[in-house]
């Protein structure tokens, strides 16, 4: 820990956390290294790939572009929190059923981003889904299966047959 450390208090996945953190540490490194929340991955480390996507105060952010100290007082939700709460259980099942993941490296960020779109309601078009997920890179699936899974869940949630 450097001399430039600060005390922060925040809520992560519903739990109040107080920690001393290096002022230069990114949010995703703080989550992974200090709190062992390793579901959020680190890919490019400069805001391009989306592997580090988490929610801060309800909005999705790049965990590699935000400093942990910027989250003082904030509410942070990671893939672990969304998963444990059952919020994305249908989305996770659809990804599995439709082979929307292979190595799984992009998947946590992809799920957090997809849920951000789906919680707006309605059934987005394939183009809308692609546009919303355009900041999340997948090196394995070719995206078709991911779009299929997200659209199927949107239809299920809207009470329409996929």
Binding site for ligand FES (CB under 6 A): 42-45, 47-52, 62, 64, 101-107, 138-141
- Residue (22 or 29) nearer to ligand FES, CB: 29
Nearer to ligand FES, 51 or 91 (CB): 51
Q: At its nearest, how many Å lie between ligand FES and the CB of residue 62?
A: 5
Give 95's contacts (C-beta < 8 A, 6+ positions apart). Answer: 101, 107, 110, 111, 146, 149
Apex 96 CA angle, 95 and 99, nearest 5: 80
- Residue among 143 and 157 whose Cβ is closer to ligand FES: 143
Least distance to ligand FES, CB of residue 65, Å: 7
Q: How far apart are CB 64 and ligand FES at their closest, in Å?
A: 3
Q: How far is CA 17 from CA 31, 58, 63, in A?
A: 11, 18, 17
- Cα 64 to Cα 78: distance, rounded to the nearest angstrom: 13
């Amino acid at each position: 820990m450097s001399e430039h450390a600060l005390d922060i208090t925040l809520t992560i996945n519903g739990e109040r956390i107080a920690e001393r953190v290096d002022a230069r540490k990114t949010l995703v490194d703080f989550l992974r290294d200090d709190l062992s929340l390793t579901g959020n991955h680190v890919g490019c480390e400069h805001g391009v790939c989306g592997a580090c996507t988490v929610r801060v105060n309800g909005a999705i952010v790049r965990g590699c572009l935000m400093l942990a100290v910027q989250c003082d007082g904030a509410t942070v939700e990671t893939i672990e929190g969304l998963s444990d709460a059952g919020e994305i259980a249908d989305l996770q099942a659809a990804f599995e059923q439709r082979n929307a993941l292979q190595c799984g490296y992009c998947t946590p960020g992809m799920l957090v981003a997809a849920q951000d779109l789906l919680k707006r309601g309605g059934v987005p078009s394939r183009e809308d889904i692609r546009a919303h997920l355009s900041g999340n890179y997948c090196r394995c699936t070719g995206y078709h299966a991911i779009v299929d899974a997200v659209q199927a869940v949107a239809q299920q949630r809207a009470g329409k047959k996929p």
